[in-house]
Structure 1
């Protein structure tokens, strides 16, 4: 009886699917240590399902961790489908290892990579341009090496928003030429100057006809791209994110006619408009055209702004769901926010980074009771230390 109970309680007697489930919650280091428990656990450590979604955390100069990353890539590179890379680019060794990993994925004989997201987590070295990562991306997005027979057109989701690197047309031309099945692309990083031309994005849209989500800078967009997105025979675009910055001082607008053509063809389209503090203020109202189905509006201007809030409450009263505002308080701003809450019946998230009057906060929450119930707001009437807590207006 005792032997039976001991066998029942033994970790080695757990079914494989239970062990695999446990492993799925562990990071690579803990998973690696757990694999030494017994042979059955070690076998489960190598199950392909555990390597389909993988996070490479490259944030220290530990040689053991570096070797482990390379060994895992060598053994399980063919199983990687959805990859997230977190890289401390402030350390040369981390940059070197990350590039090795990217090159290893790119040249793997049986690559099945579907999604790639790369986030830089440290401080950029002074005057660092990330040119070595640009070269790695060219290899990753490029055509098949001669020694590899498996087609490498499997990339579906590409998110480069966490890389403050200046991508050029060459990188994206390789992506669109060799990966026509692309469904999602995010280029909204924090680099100071966008080097991606409107013609490059136009060609990408024409080649990648399954595109469902696209996030780019306004300076990379054109009327022709909007028209191309409205063409027959392509997968309908679901989300379009456009960020406007300093380059809009010299840029041209997307016309109302082009927007109207796109919205008529894609009535379910959701558009996110972002304006940062470098965007000339007079360009904000010019870009916010009434034909755009704006669902998310981000106005982080750091200056006094309220006319644009009133404009949004009129133009986007049937679509607006999320508003993020970083500005200075004024009586006009208070009235504009109340109008926004009153007119935009779909509004469920309101983040305001300035101290308002209490009566304004009370009126907004009275107009949008669900927003108060769900605590999807930042509305303060008392100064407090940052970070401000979402859904707690007093900061108590």
Structure 2
């Protein structure tokens, strides 16, 4: 044991340790000794890389991008978008990645961590994504397989995803359900994506981007069965039609392992909720994020429709007199329910009853149930 030291560790162990460091700390560690410098220059070391642009000086990490971008397979970009220099640094990283010869990039995740500046539309990110997705991959380059943009609060349009689907037909997962007021991704764009990307198995988007024709495209026999579909329902529901039971039945028949996450946001018209909650949908996660309050009918409807599939329920709402009984009915009928998060005050007997009915959930602690209001913060 006396001969063991940091520079005698195997390379894979050093790479694993250094992977937890920021890019600047990685560079410092790489100058420590010959063995660590060898690991720093190893292509495997750069397979998963996170760029964190929170302050303007964080742009210094871009100095290593030109040299090592060709090795990057998974890239995560975090930034506080309030600062113009942070936005410029993030876009520069995207442009460098878009021009790499023999590109290995397969997974991209971009996440804003701050608040958008006033009247900010994010056009520079839309243009950077177009440049990245427009790249015609050569025989050496890899195609994008996973794109997660739910944390990117900009209004991207259909041209972004037309370019993505045209040039990356091996795409397997896509999340575009971001926090913007207006969705500019029309159903025909999603239909083209479903037709071109036949390996797509995980999709997250807004309900307004779906039609029966899109569900039919996702159910085609010449493509991989869809495994996961996340749908967020917002104010647009007041102006669009519903998805038919026939289209849902066709999709679930073609995709027997499909799991659906259904979210109703604060702007979704209340009278549309029951229309959207069809019994043919295999809902495993149901979220009511409606601060103005929901009716107990919606919870009872979930208990009736999704008793065989529902695993998680989240309620951000105001309490009503009947909600406690509806929740007890829910946990009684939904035997697969493993998580219940209720962010309003219930009566203590209701909480006790729910925990008595769900001992496994109580033991795991996968619940939020309270009978006293949170203390006020001065």
State the TM-score, normalized to the length of structure 1: 0.92
Partner-residue secondary structure (3-state), 1:299 = strand
Match of 1:392 in 2: none
Change (3 A) 1:149 1:310: closer
**Distance in 2, Cα, partners of 1:12 & 1:327:** 56
1:28 to 23, 27, 34: 23
Extract unaligned runs of 5+ from structure 1: 388-396
Structure 1 residue 301 displacement after superposition: 1.0
Q: Does 1:250 align with 2:239?
A: yes
Structure 1 residue 9 displacement after superposition: 4.6
**Distance in 2, Cα, partners of 1:129 & 1:22:** 39
Change (3 A) 1:386 1:273: farther
Q: Does 1:301 align with 2:290?
A: yes
CA contact (8 A) 2:279 2:306 kept: yes
Partner-residue secondary structure (3-state), 2:189 = helix
**Distance in 2, Cα, partners of 1:21 & 1:131:** 37
Change (3 A) 1:380 1:10: closer
Structure 1 residue 151 displacement after superposition: 5.9
Q: Aligned runs of 1:257-276 on 2, under 5 Å?
A: 257-276=246-265
2:308 to 309, 314, 318: 318
Structure 1 residue 230 displacement after superposition: 1.3
Structure 1 residue 353 displacement after superposition: 0.9
Match of 1:122 in 2: 114
Superposed CA deviations along residues 32-67 of structure 1, whole A, max 9, x for unmatched, are 1112212221121111111001101111111xx423
Question: How many aligned positions are there?
Answer: 376
**Distance in 2, Cα, partners of 1:155 & 1:239:** 19
Structure 1 residue 17 displacement after superposition: 3.1
Structure 1 residue 73 displacement after superposition: 1.1
**Distance in 2, Cα, partners of 1:78 & 1:71:** 14
RMSD (Å) for aligned C-alpha atoms: 1.6
Partner-residue secondary structure (3-state), 2:149 = strand
CA contact (8 A) 2:104 2:142 kept: no
Structure 1 residue 311 displacement after superposition: 0.4
**Distance in 2, Cα, partners of 1:195 & 1:174:** 15
CA contact (8 A) 2:121 2:155 kept: yes
Partner-residue secondary structure (3-state), 2:7 = helix
Superposed CA deviations along residues 57-103 of structure 1, whole A, max 9, x for unmatched, are 111111xx423x22221111111001100011111111111111000
Q: Does 1:45 align with 2:45?
A: no
Q: Does 1:292 align with 2:288?
A: no
CA contact (8 A) 1:111 1:150 kept: no
Larger radius of gyration: 1
Q: Does 1:204 align with 2:197?
A: no
CA contact (8 A) 2:101 2:141 kept: no
Partner-residue secondary structure (3-state), 2:49 = strand
Match of 1:158 in 2: 147
State the TM-score, normalized to the length of structure 2: 0.96
**Distance in 2, Cα, partners of 1:283 & 1:374:** 34
Partner-residue secondary structure (3-state), 1:331 = coil
Partner-residue secondary structure (3-state), 1:258 = helix
Match of 2:59 in 1: 66
Q: Does 1:229 align with 2:218?
A: yes
Match of 2:128 in 1: 136
**Distance in 2, Cα, partners of 1:43 & 1:216:** 43
CA contact (8 A) 2:200 2:224 kept: yes
Structure 1 residue 292 displacement after superposition: 0.6
1:82 to 74, 89, 93: 74
Partner-residue secondary structure (3-state), 2:120 = coil
Partner-residue secondary structure (3-state), 2:181 = coil
Structure 1 residue 10 displacement after superposition: 4.4
1:91 to 78, 83, 95: 83
Change (3 A) 1:272 1:43: same
